[in-house]
Amino acid sequence: MAIFQNTVVNKYLNNQNEQVISEKWDIYKTHFFDPVVQENIRDRKV
């Protein structure tokens, strides 16, 4: 059983601002795809 109905999910997905999502994704990629940051994350898991 799904937590949300598909119509509700689709409604909110269609209302997202694609430009803002794209900008935030670029910020995320810049930080978390950095090899130094990835190594720090791996080191902290131990």
* % of residues, the chain, pLDDT over 70: 96
Residue 2 lies in a domain: no
Domain count, the chain: 1
Token pair in block for residue 29? 């990629």
d(CA 32, CA 40): 10
Helix (H, G, I), strand (E, B), or coil: what is residue 46?
coil
The band of 4, judged by pLDDT with boundaries at 50, 70 and 90, is confident
Residue at 3 is within a domain: no
CA-CA distance, 20 to 30, in Å (whole number)? 15
In a domain, 13, yes or no: yes
pLDDT in tens, 23-39: 999 999 999 999 999 99
Domain that holds residue 27: 8-45
